[in-house]
Every structure is written in C-alpha cells, then in structure tokens.
Structure 1
Amino acid sequence: MLQELSIRNFAIIEELNLSLEKGLTVLTGETGAGKSIIIDAVHLLAGGRGSSEFVRHGERKSEIEGMFSIDGPDHPSVQKAHQFGIEIEDEIVVIRREISATGKSVCRINGKLVTIAILREIGSTLVDIHGQHEHQELMDTNQHLHLLDQFGGSDILAAKTNYADIFKRYEQTMKAIRQLSENEQQMAHRLDLIQFQLNEIQKADLKLREDDELAEEKRRLSNFEKLYESTQTSYNALQGEGKGLDWIGLAMSQLETAAEIDEQYRSLYEAVSESFYAIEDVSRQISSALDGLEFDPNRLNEIETRLNEINVLKRKYGSTIEEIMEYGGKIEEEIETLTNRETHIEKLQSERLAYEKDLLLEGKQLSYLRKQAAQKLVDAIHHELKQLYMDKTVFDIQFLVDGEDHTKHVPSFKKDGLDEVEFYISTNPGEPLKPLSKVASGGELSRMMLAMKTIFSKHQGVTSIIFDEVDTGVSGRVAQSIGEKIHQVSIHSQVLCISHLPQVAAMADVHLYISKIMTGGRTKTFVEPLENEEKIKEIGRMISGVEMTDLTKQHAKELLELAASLKNG
C-alpha cells in the first residue's frame, strides 16, 4: 500500500506530507480545494505524463515522493524491478519524481534513475487509478479478452503459455516460408549477393586472433630501432670487463672466502651465487635475442596490407574475425537453402501443418477454459450488479471467433489463441444484448467498472486503488450501494477515493478533509484528518450544502451508524 506521500511545490500545494492507512480513505472538500491534485501527484508516481504546468508558480521544480509497502517477494512489482536491475529490500518501494519548470522530468525508484516507460511498468503494479471518465478497459474491446484471462487465473495462464510457445515457432516457420516464396528475380539477386560475400570471406582465409597477432608484430617492427638499442644497452651493462657480471662474480668470490672462514656467510654466498648464474643465463638469452633481431621492411608492408584487408571485411561483415566467420557460416547455410529452395519449402510446409494441428488442440483447450471462466465471471458480475441496483441488467461475454473462421473453414490463429471476446449488456428488460461500449451510460459504466473492480481486486494484487469521483451522477440507494461496494474493494486493497457523496464518505476508515486558504497572497492546500464531530459536520455539509441543521446532523449520524453496522456485519 501507499504508506507515505510527500508533495512539494505541486500546483497549489506548497508542501504536504500524508501518512496513509489500510482500508478505505475518502478525500472530501469543496470543489477546487486540491483533492484531484493529490490524485494527480500519485498518478505521476505511477508513470503519468508530467508537465511544467504542474510546477507551482515561481518555483524551480515540483517534487513528489511515495513510499509503498508490498506484500512479499512474489508481488508483481518485485519481478518488474529485478527485470530492470532495481533492488527491493524490506518489501519497500520508494518512488521519487521531480518535474522542473522547464518541463524536464527525473524519476527514481529506490534511488535508481529510470525512464518514464520503466516507471510506468512498475507503477502499474502498485497503483490502479480510475476516474469518472476513465473506463478504457471496459470500452476497449481489445481489453476484454485480457480481463477474462485475468479472471481465469493460473489454469488459463498455463494454457496460454503452452499455446504461445507453439505459436512462436509457427510464426517463425510462416516467416521462413514467405521469405522462400518470394519471386525468382529477388531470390537470384539475393543468391548472387551472398555468394559474392562468402567468396570474399573464404578467399581471405581468416584465422582466429590473427589480427591481434599481426598488430603485435607490427608494433615490434615499427619500434625496431628502440627495441634493438634497449636490448644492446642491457647486454653491454652485463657483459664485458668491469661490467655487471664481473662485479657480481667478484662479490660471489669474496663471499665464498668469507663463508670458508665463518659459516654464517654461507647463505649470503649462495644467494649471490644463484643470482650470478641466473643473470649469466639471462645475458646469454639477450645475446641470442640480439642475433635474432632483424628489420624486414617488406614484412612490415605485408602486415599492413593484411590488416587493411581484415579491416575492410570487419566494416562489411562484423566487428571481429569471429563475427566475420560466423556470418560466413550463416550465409553458407542460406546459400544451401536458396539453392535447394523447393525442398526446404516442402519441409517447412510439413512443419507448418504439424504446428497448426498442435495450435488447434491447444487453442481449443484454451477456449474451453475461457468459456468456463466466462460463465463464472458472468455469474459474479450479475451478483455484484444486483447489489448495485442493476438487477434487471443482463451481462454476457460473447465469443466472436470460436476456433474457426466459418467463412473460410480454416483455423484463425492469433497470438492469444483462437478467440475474440466482447462484453455485451442489456440494461432494460426485453431489449437485446448489445456491445457494452455502445449502449452503457456514464452511470452504468461507473457501476459496471466498480462491479468488475470488486471481482478483480482479489486477483490483481495491486497495492493501491484510487477512485476519482467515480460516483458522479448517482444518488439515493445507488449511492449507498456504491459506498458499500468501494468498501468491499478496500478489504483486499488499499483504496483512496475522492467523493462528493455522503454515503461513500460515511464508509471511510479514514476521512481526510481537503481545504485551501489564502496566505501571503498565495493559495495553499491543507489536509485535515476528521474524527467524530468533525466527520459528522463534513458529512452533514455534503448532505445539505452550507447550512447545517439539527436534522442534517442527525442524518449524518445515522449514515455513520449504518456504515459502521455494515462494516462490522
């Protein structure tokens, strides 16, 4: 859940620190006080689009920080974080977002800089925001299959994984068939090109690490004079009358005499003796190296020519000799395939038929599981809609494509299976079922979304769910049912809700009152937790407006008592 929220210089909020609790937190207050601004700040933490307009006038930047606690190492946010190299310790995720007055946005997760795209991926596992105009998943028919699969759980996930593995190989096979079925002229041009490339590579007769060895030899030849001079000087320092070895030999001789007189000098004599013979051996090796040093300008030219040839191939076929040789092997296989194109097409067609049989079997199994899940979801939604006073509403999930395209009588394989589904609804008895996206009103969509969120909150594992005035346009017993339903969602997830309905506010576990005041010629937003009398007063204001009467106060108390009874029940 979202435990701590810190906001600095964001819109009309100068500074705000909130500690949030589990359960249902309701935010109320006059229009324009800043309720939606708080939700906007949380939306930015979840990867929403930033803008310089969010920065408080006269300030350099806005700062938003949120601390989320997650439920164990299996939470989806942990998997996403590890995917992007972000460490999560003590089951805490800290997200920080800064937006400058120039529009630049900086995002950090647990201290690591991330892009907006990464923030959005991880944020989507932590926060789920629904506004009064945000019903994209319900209105977008492309999302209906995703929602059904999500409800179906692990059985459908396993079946989808099996299908997806085969579908991936099937697509690769179809791509290979298409490539080999291109026109003859294109094939001939391709064959000529790669045959030329292979000949060029084979003619070069490359050897692994050849370029490194040649570069080292070139370096030696290019520095021949310096190498010869250094070697000759070192030899002269060791060999000759009065040179290094003479003096070490003299020291060895004298220490030998000393060791014959006093045994304690024996170890010194042996050490110098070993050094003498070792240096004498090195001296002979230096002499041999000198004899072998020979400058060959032709060899240097040969090396430069060969390295240039290798570099030309690197520019064409790979950055290393190993990559060039791998490319040569790859096009050699392609030449064989193109030369024997018909044979390969026949083989691929056989593979395609085998994959299609497997896809049809796996796809039908997936469809079977989806139909079972669809019936359970329909029953669950009818149950929820009844509680939201939409008991006359009929909801259905229709499978538009069921394993076959009946106009062609051939399988229609798609990435997610054989099925296309769409949610249908009839809100009035006697009316036919029609697509949900075309017939539902705003109030009906709000209740439909709330019904589905009540069901899906048990499956999604989202840390925090935010409802931004989703109760707009309803009243009376429907408002009461919406309040109860939002509270049900909060049993499984932390819920933050902006509401103008007293019935919803009465169900709150925590009630925050948002207000704004003028100070120093500037507007500031304040948040005040309400308890007892303050809560009664605010709910009374929501019922009657500005004027508070004894009857209004009594009504507010009754709402709170009813809410307490429902929650305890």
Structure 2
Amino acid sequence: MLQELSIRNFAIIEKLNIEFNSGMTVLTGETGAGKSIIIDAVGLLAGGRGSVDFIRKGTKKAVLQGMFSMDKNPDTLALLDQYGIEHADPTLILQREIQASGRNVCRINGSLVNTTILKKIGETLIDIHGQNEHQELMQPEKHLGMLDEFARNGIQPLLKQYQQKYEHFQNLKQKFNRKKANEKEWAQRVDMLRFQVKEIEDANLQVGEEEQLNSQKELLENFQKISTALQTAQLALENEESAGAIDSTGEAMNALRDIENIDDKYKNISNIISSAYYQLQDATSDISGELENMEWDEGKLDQVEKRLEEIYQLKKKYGDNIQQILAYDQKASEELHSMVDSESDEDQMESQLETIQEQLKKIALQLSTTRKQAASKLQVAVHDQLKQLYMDKAEFEVHFDESAGLKFKSTGIDNVEFYLRTNPGESMGPLSRIASGGELSRIMLALKTIFAKSQGVTSIIFDEVDTGVSGRVAQAIAEKIKLIASYSQVLCITHLPQVAAEADHQFFVSKAVKGGRTETKLSDLNENGRVQELARMLAGSTVTKLSIQHAKELLKMAHTS
C-alpha cells in the first residue's frame, strides 16, 4: 500500500507531504482545489505519462516520491528481481523528477530505471480508475484480458503453454513461407554461402599467420642490407690482414691480467675487458651462423606477398583480421547447413507444421473451454454485484464471437466482448455501445469488487467514479468501495457525502492564494472536521444545523453497518 507521498513543485502544489493508512481514505474539497492533481502525482509515480506542463510555474523541475509497502506481492518482487533492483525489506521507494528540459529521472529504491520499468512495477502497486477512465470497458479488445485476469489461476498456465507453442508454430511457418515465396532468393543465398565458405576454407587460414608473413616479408625485403651489415661486422671482429676487434681485445685482456692482483680497480677493469672479449667471441659465432644460413630465394618474397594479398582480399570481404574471417566462416557454414537441411527437409517441415498446428489447436480449444467456464462464473458474479448497485434488471454476458472460425492469435482463438441488456425487452448488445456513463461506472465498480481479491494490487484509486449518481445508488457505491477497501488500500476522490462517510480516513483539500500564487493545502480531518465537511457536502455553501445533524447520522450509520 501507499504509505507516504511527497510532492514538490507539481502543478499548483508547491510542497505537500501526505501519510496514508490502510483501509479506505477519501479526499474531499471544492472543485478545482487540487484533489485530482494529487492523484495525477500518484499516477506519474506509477509510470504514467509525464509532461513539462506539470512543473509548477517559475520552477525548474517537479519532484515526486512515494513509499510503498509490498508485503505478499509476488508480481512486484518478481519484477524487482528481474531488473536487479535491491529490496531488502518490504518497503519500496519510487522517485520521479520531471525536468523543464523534458527529461525524466526515475528511481526505484535508489536504482535508476526508465519509465517503462517504472510503469511495469507501478502497475503491480497501484490501480487508478477515474471518471474518464472506462477505456477497458469501452475497448472490446481489452475484455479478453479482463476475463483472463478473473480466472488467472486456471487460465494463465494454459495461456503460457499455448503462447509457447504459438511462437514455435509462427517461427516455423514464417521460415517455410519465406522459403516458398522466395525460392529464387533462397537459391542465390545458398550459392553465395557455398562460394564464401569454399573461398575461406580453401585459403586454409591460420591464426597468427599474417603476423608471421609480415615478419618474413620484412626480412626478405632487407636481405641485402642484413647480409652486408653482418659481413662488415664479421670483418671488423675477425680481420685476417690486420688485428681485428677480438684480437685487440684479447691483447688488452692479457695485458691487464698481469696487474689485476695489484689493486681492485685493475681487477675490475680486467673483468670488464674479459667479459667483452668472450661476448665478442659469442657475437662472432652468431654472425657466422647467420651468414651460413642466409640463402637468397628469389621466389620466396613473391610467395609471401601473394599470400598477404590473398589475406588482404579476404579481410576486405569478411573481417578486419583472420580471427574475424574464421568467425564469419563458422557463421556462414551454420547458415548454409541450416538452409541445405531445410531444402532437403521441405516435406518434413510441412509435416512438422501440420503436427504443431494440431497440437496448437488442441491447447487452444482447451483454453477456450476454460475461458467459457470462467465466463459463466464471471457473469453470475457481475449480476450479483449489479443487483447490489441497483442494476438488478441488467443482464451481463461474456460474448464469444465464433463467426470468424478457427483463427490462431497470440491470445488464443477467442474473440470476446462484454454484452449488456439494461432493461427487459431490449436486445443484448455490445456494452461499449449500450451502457451510459453512470452504468459504466457501476459495471467497472462491480468488476473491481470481483477482481480486488485476485489482482494483488496494493492500492486502488477511484477518481470521482461516483459522478452522476445519488440517493440509494450513491450509498450502494459507497458500500461497494468500502468492501474493496477490505482487500486493498483504497484512495478515493468524491463529491458524495455517502461515500465520504464510509471512509476510515478523510483529507480535506483546499486552495489559497499566497504571494500572488495559488497553492493547494491538505488537512487530515478529525471526527468534528469530518462532520463539518460532510455537512458542507450535503448543504452546499451554507452549513445548517440540519445538515450537521444529517452528517453525524451518516457517519454513525457508516461505522455501525
């Protein structure tokens, strides 16, 4: 349930903090005081559509924050886990900023989320139903979902099973149809893949090969330069005509050995010269070995360059390096095998389609039967609720349109629409065309009462759903909303004293001009305050002793019923 709500710079609200309780809470006050603005704020916290128009004039952003308890709400917990949002305790904090730039910043328990995630989680916490929000009833395409929600325990497992089979069927059917419709393109694709796979595999590429070839090319291109340098170095170290570097160093080493024991500094010099002598001998040996192994192959450089050019051409087509080329080869090979298998198994694919279609039909018929059983129960439940709302003459029917025949959709084969007959002798017809505004309110309230136990939504908000009714109908609506509040927290905006009297808690919303600006204020009414407010709602602008007495009677009746 919604425990606390904080609103900053939202419409005509500068700053407002509200603490809510369980049960039924009503917000009353004069028209235009800002009651619906508070509900708009809750709706935005639940992921509703935002607009910079909500930002209070003269400020840079509107800030909304709500604290919810989510005990025993598996749908909320599952979504939090799915999106990696921490929830160590049953308290959930939703935050939303609407900035003048149009940017929305949303957080859940401190984690940044987008408005899509905020909406998904918000829908498990809050259900807002306003006087202009009969869309679900007015849109026949939503009726099937409402029926499924009514019997979710029986329908959801079957629907999930159907949708998995339906997705498999659709994928296979699309693949089959695509192949049949594009056989020329299919054949061209197979030929191209064959060419590409053969071209890459014939090249017999090896990871690291290009680097090795470039090294070989570097050596071959510098063969003469390397050979000349090695010969020059060898001559300098071992010159038969004159003393080479090694001989000269050897003479220096022998000369120093005669004095190395006289002083440590001569010993150090002798060691350095000795080390240099032996290193020069090693270097001379290495140079000789390199010169002996060097052999000019006139065709080798050409081979290396041709191989590098082959790799370069493959890189232009299939990837930036050999690893990417080989990865492309693997992907192309898999696609080729799949298409070749598909070519050879076309009859098998068609047979498989028929088999899956039969399986899909079996599940769809089972799902449809379950829905029709649920529809009968829903009709009885709605009739019962409508009687209590003084629509005892009305007949409600979940109509299954089977005129289109067996046609698979993602939701099954059923076309469902709610039908209504408001008076005996009239024809049964689509609810969306027959029901009046007041009747729609009562039908939706009947459905809300039925769904309250199963939906698991922690807070249900009614925004003036009682508009246009009075007398015993108003009292019946009040009692119905009170009943819903026994399953979920209910927040209700109302102009009916009968509804307000049934509430467990009542806030009075008013507006005042301060510093030339209109501001919304909220007062938590005690018992005397509730009497005064109910009297105002009963009498209008002038509160009389009779209206006060009537208000007291309403409160007494509500708390003793």
Give the TM interval when normalised to the shorter protein: 0.7 to 0.9
1:355: Cα distance to partner?
1.3
Between 308-317 and 431-440, the greater mean CA deviation after superposition: 308-317
Code of the aligned partner of 1:88:
H
Query: In structure 2, do the counterparts of structure 1 residues 29 and 195 end up closer, same or farther at CA, with 3 Å as the change threshold?
Result: same
Query: In structure 2, do the counterparts of structure 1 residues 400 and 318 end up closer, same or farther at CA, with 3 Å as the change threshold?
Result: farther
Among candidates 409, 413, 434, match of residue 408 of structure 2: 413
1:503 counterpart residue number? 498
TM-score, length basis structure 2: 0.82
Contact 1:201 1:328 in 2 (8 A): no
1:309: Cα distance to partner?
4.2
2:53 counterpart residue number? 53
Code of the aligned partner of 2:520:
T
Q: Which runs of 5+ in 2 are unaligned?
A: 227-248, 254-277
- What are the within-5 Å matches in structure 2 for residues 550-569 of structure 1? 550-566=545-561
Between 518-527 and 18-27, the greater mean CA deviation after superposition: 518-527
Q: Following the alignment from structure 1 to structure 2, what is the Cα–Cα distance between the partners of residues 536 and 65?
A: 31
Aligned partner of residue 56 in structure 2, secondary structure: coil
Q: Following the alignment from structure 1 to structure 2, what is the Cα–Cα distance between the partners of residues 522 and 388?
A: 43
Code of the aligned partner of 1:373:
A
Q: Following the alignment from structure 1 to structure 2, what is the Cα–Cα distance between the partners of residues 317 and 364?
A: 55
Q: Following the alignment from structure 2 to structure 1, what is the Cα–Cα distance between the partners of residues 304 and 46?
A: 62
1:495: Cα distance to partner?
1.0
1:565: Cα distance to partner?
1.6
1:5 counterpart residue number? 5
Contact 2:464 2:495 in 1 (8 A): yes
Contact 1:393 1:427 in 2 (8 A): yes
Code of the aligned partner of 1:345:
E
Q: Following the alignment from structure 2 to structure 1, what is the Cα–Cα distance between the partners of residues 491 and 322?
A: 56
Contact 1:198 1:331 in 2 (8 A): no
Query: In angstroms, what is the RMSD of aligned CA positions?
Result: 3.4
Contact 2:4 2:17 in 1 (8 A): yes
Between 153-162 and 388-397, the greater mean CA deviation after superposition: 153-162
Matched, 1:468 2:463: yes
Aligned partner of residue 491 in structure 1, secondary structure: coil
Contact 2:34 2:509 in 1 (8 A): yes
1:515 counterpart residue number? 510
Query: In structure 2, do the counterparts of structure 1 residues 84 and 310 end up closer, same or farther at CA, with 3 Å as the change threshold?
Result: farther
Q: Following the alignment from structure 1 to structure 2, what is the Cα–Cα distance between the partners of residues 223 and 61?
A: 68
Q: Following the alignment from structure 1 to structure 2, what is the Cα–Cα distance between the partners of residues 88 and 194?
A: 51
Query: For each residue in 1:151-195, what CA deviation from the matched residue of structure 2 results, as whole angstroms up to 9, or x when unmatched?
Result: 112221111122222222211221122022115433443333333
Code of the aligned partner of 2:178:
Q
Contact 2:46 2:126 in 1 (8 A): yes
Q: Following the alignment from structure 2 to structure 1, what is the Cα–Cα distance between the partners of residues 288 and 27?
A: 90
Between the aligned residues of both structures, percent identity stands at: 45
Q: Following the alignment from structure 1 to structure 2, what is the Cα–Cα distance between the partners of residues 94 and 16?
A: 17
1:215: Cα distance to partner?
4.7
1:69 counterpart residue number? 69
2:28 counterpart residue number? 28
Q: Following the alignment from structure 2 to structure 1, what is the Cα–Cα distance between the partners of residues 37 and 400?
A: 41
Q: Following the alignment from structure 1 to structure 2, what is the Cα–Cα distance between the partners of residues 540 and 450?
A: 26
Code of the aligned partner of 2:316:
V
Query: In structure 2, do the counterparts of structure 1 residues 316 and 34 end up closer, same or farther at CA, with 3 Å as the change threshold?
Result: same
1:271 counterpart residue number? none
Query: In structure 2, do the counterparts of structure 1 residues 204 and 223 end up closer, same or farther at CA, with 3 Å as the change threshold?
Result: closer
Query: For each residue in 1:469-489, what CA deviation from the matched residue of structure 2 results, as whole angstroms up to 9, or x when unmatched?
Result: 111101111111111111111
Contact 2:52 2:100 in 1 (8 A): yes
Query: In structure 2, do the counterparts of structure 1 residues 317 and 36 end up closer, same or farther at CA, with 3 Å as the change threshold?
Result: farther
1:325 counterpart residue number? 329
Code of the aligned partner of 1:413:
F
Contact 2:196 2:329 in 1 (8 A): no
Query: In structure 2, do the counterparts of structure 1 residues 533 and 311 end up closer, same or farther at CA, with 3 Å as the change threshold?
Result: same
Query: For each residue in 1:213-263, what CA deviation from the matched residue of structure 2 results, as whole angstroms up to 9, or x when unmatched?
Result: 6458858998999xx9xxxxxxxxxxx9999xxxxxxxxxxxxxxxxxxxx
Q: Following the alignment from structure 1 to structure 2, what is the Cα–Cα distance between the partners of residues 304 and 525?
A: 78
Q: Following the alignment from structure 2 to structure 1, what is the Cα–Cα distance between the partners of residues 306 and 506?
A: 85
TM-score, length basis structure 1: 0.81
Contact 1:318 1:327 in 2 (8 A): no
Among candidates 467, 472, 479, match of residue 477 of structure 1: 472
Between 36-45 and 175-184, the greater mean CA deviation after superposition: 175-184
Aligned partner of residue 31 in structure 1, secondary structure: coil
- What are the within-5 Å matches in structure 2 for residues 327-366 of structure 1? 327-337=331-341, 341=343, 343-366=344-367
Q: Following the alignment from structure 2 to structure 1, what is the Cα–Cα distance between the partners of residues 429 and 559?
A: 39
2:489 counterpart residue number? 494
Matched, 1:115 2:114: yes
Query: In structure 2, do the counterparts of structure 1 residues 382 and 306 end up closer, same or farther at CA, with 3 Å as the change threshold?
Result: same
Contact 2:28 2:509 in 1 (8 A): yes
Code of the aligned partner of 1:21:
N
Query: For each residue in 1:16-57, what CA deviation from the matched residue of structure 2 results, as whole angstroms up to 9, or x when unmatched?
Result: 111111111100011111111111111111111211111111
Query: In structure 2, do the counterparts of structure 1 residues 500 and 161 end up closer, same or farther at CA, with 3 Å as the change threshold?
Result: same
2:240 counterpart residue number? none
2:396 counterpart residue number? 395
1:160 counterpart residue number? 159
Query: For each residue in 1:384-424, what CA deviation from the matched residue of structure 2 results, as whole angstroms up to 9, or x when unmatched?
Result: 111111111000111112xx855xxxx42222222111110
1:526: Cα distance to partner?
1.0
Query: In structure 2, do the counterparts of structure 1 residues 27 and 218 end up closer, same or farther at CA, with 3 Å as the change threshold?
Result: farther
Query: For each residue in 1:525-562, what CA deviation from the matched residue of structure 2 results, as whole angstroms up to 9, or x when unmatched?
Result: 11111011110000110011011111101111111111
1:196 counterpart residue number? 195
Code of the aligned partner of 1:60:
K
Code of the aligned partner of 1:380:
A
Query: In structure 2, do the counterparts of structure 1 residues 32 and 374 end up closer, same or farther at CA, with 3 Å as the change threshold?
Result: same
1:12: Cα distance to partner?
1.0
Contact 1:317 1:323 in 2 (8 A): no
Q: Following the alignment from structure 1 to structure 2, what is the Cα–Cα distance between the partners of residues 320 and 37?
A: 58
Code of the aligned partner of 1:554:
Q
Code of the aligned partner of 2:356:
Y
1:315: Cα distance to partner?
4.1
Code of the aligned partner of 1:531:
N
Report the structure number with the largest CA radius of gyration. Answer: 2
Query: In structure 2, do the counterparts of structure 1 residues 70 and 216 end up closer, same or farther at CA, with 3 Å as the change threshold?
Result: farther
Q: Following the alignment from structure 2 to structure 1, what is the Cα–Cα distance between the partners of residues 9 and 219?
A: 65
Contact 2:315 2:325 in 1 (8 A): no
2:385 counterpart residue number? 384
Q: Following the alignment from structure 1 to structure 2, what is the Cα–Cα distance between the partners of residues 412 and 387?
A: 39
Query: Which ranges of 4 or more aligned residues in structure 1 deviate by more than 6 Å?
Result: 219-225, 240-243, 287-300, 316-319
Aligned partner of residue 84 in structure 2, secondary structure: coil
Query: For each residue in 1:421-479, what CA deviation from the matched residue of structure 2 results, as whole angstroms up to 9, or x when unmatched?
Result: 11100011111110011111110000000000111111111121111111110111111
Query: In structure 2, do the counterparts of structure 1 residues 320 and 156 end up closer, same or farther at CA, with 3 Å as the change threshold?
Result: same
Matched, 1:367 2:368: yes
Q: Following the alignment from structure 1 to structure 2, what is the Cα–Cα distance between the partners of residues 58 and 303?
A: 71
Code of the aligned partner of 2:165:
I
Q: Following the alignment from structure 1 to structure 2, what is the Cα–Cα distance between the partners of residues 398 and 472?
A: 28
1:77: Cα distance to partner?
1.6
Q: Following the alignment from structure 2 to structure 1, what is the Cα–Cα distance between the partners of residues 539 and 185?
A: 79
Code of the aligned partner of 2:394:
T
Equivalent residues, number: 505
1:102 counterpart residue number? 101
Aligned partner of residue 465 in structure 1, secondary structure: strand
Query: In structure 2, do the counterparts of structure 1 residues 367 and 4 end up closer, same or farther at CA, with 3 Å as the change threshold?
Result: same
Q: Following the alignment from structure 1 to structure 2, what is the Cα–Cα distance between the partners of residues 288 and 462?
A: 84
Query: In structure 2, do the counterparts of structure 1 residues 289 and 344 end up closer, same or farther at CA, with 3 Å as the change threshold?
Result: farther
